[in-house]
């Protein structure tokens, strides 16, 4: 059996053979002896729960500047039976972009983050290593009437986000980030660089929401920009139990998915603290694509119970709203979007659900009580409806469309490291998830791939089986799962690009 240092040497030799004598490999390949190895490994990790002394580490980290370096890495990894973990923004909830239980390398796209905006045809080419904040900032430098319907956290990577769907405050008006992808460049298992025409419509369909990492390495995406008004309005209204929070949450379920599609109001129920220091409230957090004078009458008509006043609202440009929704205080400079410090970095476990019938009041009371049991627990409710109702379930692999009232994300965070502490919080969130079963979607109990949850099931890494993977695959993709597996059999039948929840090939008959 080869030792890890001999595998490394062989791999480096392979890389230099690919590049000739004057290889740049020393600038882009880092092994555990390199002084930069730990720094790069940790740099974008969002869930530190997965980075400790006992978690497996990559033999090498490669930070390519050029696609030929990725082609070489794919070729050499196959030759040396190494797995590849591709990392764009590092926000995978279960750490799958930097963790693997068999010998592996990381291809970290940190140096591939260019953004080219073309206002003439209202598109942009964005490399996978860029993050959402960089995209929003670059857009703002060119136009204040163009936006992009993606997520809220600026450090989320384009690669993983678009690969799993991606949604944020423009969801009800324009759908998902993946709905706006019109072309892409991918490196396939044979090291070929393919654009939409060359990869064909089936593979192009699969990469727009089928979950990153199953079909190849996406280098860049061509996205369609969307129109936003020059002035939009944001507000956040906090309600405690005494101020009728639960009655408002209950009411919101009936109306938020039916609001005018310019109006997006999500709810965050946040509990922080313990003992006498507890605070819990429902936070009604909104983006309206218009000005206050249009919003107030609309709210008086659609959601008078919230009692929204003009002074609760702030007019701003759409890009300023991305700073606001990222959690920075009002008036923060746009440059905050470029800050790579992750505001929300902490150990966490999350789960998701889709709701198709309003949750009864007594069950909401039960949730509220359960959130109080943890020190840092959040439940985020993102309303669907609007444009999401118009897009077919089969349009891209993300199937949660017409009929979904809202998405729930449950999240628990903690600071103390260690297995005992983690187990306690994980046990709590699993029990909340069990409690929710009667109130959320059934057959399947659906989940969102970008809020990855390995509790739903995992592949056997050496021998992924379609029927076993269907247990979690159908929750994420419903009937699109089979089509994803059929695409996989065509483009990567040997299942080279794989992880614990990658799409397995569809079994061949016989």
Q: Which residues are catalytic?
A: 451
Does residue 204 interact with ligand FDA by CB under 6 A? no
Give yes or no for a contact between 58 and 104, defined as CB atoms under 8 angstroms apart. yes
163 forms part of the interface with ligand FDA (CB under 6 A): yes
Residue of 496, 499, 469, 471 whose CA lies nearest to 485:
469
Pairing of strands 104-108, 60-62: parallel
**Residue 413: enclosing H or E segment and its boundaries?**
strand 406-414
Strands (E), 329-389: 347-355, 376-383
**First CA to last CA distance, the chain:** 34
184 vs 367, beta carbon nearer ligand FDA: 184
156 lies in the binding site for ligand FDA (CB under 6 A): yes
Pairing relation of β-strands 217-224 and 123-127? Answer: antiparallel
CB of 509 to ligand FDA, least distance (A): 29
Task: Give the pair of three-digit tokens for residue 137.
Answer: 């900032």
| Chain CA centroid to CA 157, Å | 8
Considering only residues 431 to 470 of the shown chain, the ones binding ligand FDA according to CB under 6 A are: 450
Residue number with CB closer to ligand FDA (8 or 97): 97
Number of residues interacting with ligand FDA: please give it, by CB under 6 A. 34
Question: Counting contacts by CB under 6 A, is residue 210 touching ligand FDA?
Answer: no
Among 158-166, 228-236, 437-445, 478-486, which window interacts with ligand FDA (CB under 6 A)?
158-166
Stretch of residues binding ligand FDA (CB under 6 A), selected from 52-60, 70-78, 79-87, 188-196: 79-87
Quick one: CA dihedral 7, 9, 15, 17, positive or negative?
negative
Near ligand FDA by CB under 6 A: residue from 16, 83, 128, 321? 128
Q: Which stretch binds ligand FDA (CB under 6 A): 10-18, 84-92, 233-241, 410-418?
A: 84-92
Task: Examine residue 191 and tell whether it contacts ligand FDA (CB under 6 A).
Answer: no
495 forms part of the interface with ligand FDA (CB under 6 A): no
For the bound state, the minimum distance from the C-beta of residue 160 to ligand FDA, rounded and expressed in Å, comes to 2
Task: Round to whole Å and give the CA distance between 482 and 484.
Answer: 5
> In terms of CB distance, is 96 or 237 closer to ligand FDA?
96
Residue 257 within binding range of ligand FDA, rule CB under 6 A: no
Site stretch for ligand FDA (CB under 6 A), options 93-101, 261-269, 278-286, 329-337:
93-101
Nearer to ligand FDA, 93 or 303 (CB): 93
- Are residues 259 and 302 in contact, defined by beta-carbon separation less than 8 angstroms? yes
Q: How far apart are CA 188 and CA 217, in angstroms?
A: 7
Binders of ligand FDA among residues 319 to 358 (CB under 6 A) are 344
397 binding ligand FDA? (CB under 6 A): no
Spell out the residues 6+ positions from residue 250 whose beta carbon is closer than 8 angstroms to its own.
358, 359, 361, 364
**Interface pick for ligand FDA out of 7, 60, 135, 153 (rule CB under 6 A):** 153
| Distances 155 to 103, 384, 413 between C-alpha atoms, Å | 28, 24, 18
Task: Identify the DSSP state of 359.
Answer: P
- Over the window 44 to 73, marking each residue x when it contacts ligand FDA by CB under 6 A and - when it does not, the resulting string is --x---------------------------
Q: Counting contacts by CB under 6 A, is residue 16 touching ligand FDA?
A: no
CA distances to 90, 223, 258 from 262, in Å: 31, 21, 11
Given the rule CB under 6 A, which residues bind ligand FDA? 46, 85-93, 96-97, 109, 128, 151-153, 156-157, 159-161, 163-164, 166-168, 212-213, 217-218, 344, 450, 499
């Amino acid at each position: 059996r080869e030792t890890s240092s001999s595998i490394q040497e062989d791999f480096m030799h392979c890389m230099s053979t690919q590049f000739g004598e004057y290889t740049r490999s020393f600038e882009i390949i880092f092994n555990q002896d390199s002084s930069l190895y730990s720094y790069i490994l940790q740099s974008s990790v969002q869930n530190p729960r997965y980075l400790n002394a006992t978690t497996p580490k990559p033999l090498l980290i490669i930070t390519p500047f050029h696609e030929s370096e990725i082609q070489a890495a794919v070729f050499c990894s196959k030759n040396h039976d190494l797995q590849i973990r591709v990392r764009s923004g590092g926000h995978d909830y279960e750490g799958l972009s930097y963790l693997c239980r068999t010998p592996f390398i990381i291809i970290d796209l940190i140096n591939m983050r260019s953004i080219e905006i073309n206002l003439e045809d209202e598109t942009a080419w964005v490399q996978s290593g860029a993050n959402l904040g960089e995209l929003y900032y670059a857009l703002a430098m060119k136009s204040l009437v163009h936006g992009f319907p993606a997520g809220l956290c600026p450090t989320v990577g384009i690669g993983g986000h678009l690969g799993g769907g991606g949604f944020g405050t423009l969801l009800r008006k324009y759908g998902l980030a993946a709905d706006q992808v019109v072309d892409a460049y991918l490196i396939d298992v044979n090291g070929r660089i393919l654009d939409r025409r060359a990869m064909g419509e089936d593979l192009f369909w699969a990469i727009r929401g089928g979950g990153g990492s199953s079909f190849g390495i996406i280098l860049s995406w061509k996205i369609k920009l969307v129109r936003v008004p020059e002035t939009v309005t944001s507000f956040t209204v906090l309600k405690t139990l005494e101020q009728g929070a639960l009655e408002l949450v209950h009411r919101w379920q009936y109306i938020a998915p039916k609001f005018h599609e310019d109006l997006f109001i999500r709810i965050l129920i946040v509990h922080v603290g313990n003992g006498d220091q507890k605070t819990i409230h429902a936070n009604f957090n909104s983006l309206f694509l218009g000005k206050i004078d249009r919003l107030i009458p609309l709210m008086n008509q659609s959601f008078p119970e919230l009692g929204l006043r003009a002074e609760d609202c702030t007019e701003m440009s759409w890009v300023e709203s991305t700073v606001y929704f990222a959690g920075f205080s009002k008036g923060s400079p746009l440059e905050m979007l470029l800050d790579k410090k992750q505001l929300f970095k902490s150990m966490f476990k999350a789960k998701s659900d889709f709701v198709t019938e309003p949750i009864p009041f007594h069950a909401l009371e039960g949730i509220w009580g359960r959130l109080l049991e943890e020190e840092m627990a959040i439940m985020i409710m993102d309303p669907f409806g609007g444009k999401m109702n118009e897009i077919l379930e089969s349009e891209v692999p993300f199937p949660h469309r017409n009929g979904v009232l809202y998405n729930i994300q449950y999240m628990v965070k903690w600071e103390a490291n260690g297995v005992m502490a983690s187990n306690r919080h994980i046990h709590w969130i699993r029990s909340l998830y069990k409690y929710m079963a009667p109130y959320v979607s059934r057959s399947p109990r659906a989940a969102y791939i970008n809020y990855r949850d390995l509790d739903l099931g995992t592949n056997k890494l050496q021998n992924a089986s379609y029927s076993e993977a269907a247990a979690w695959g159908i929750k994420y993709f419903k009937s699109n799962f089979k089509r994803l597996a059929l695409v996989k059999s065509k483009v990567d039948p040997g299942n080279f690009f794989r992880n614990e929840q990658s799409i397995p090939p569809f079994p061949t008959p016989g």
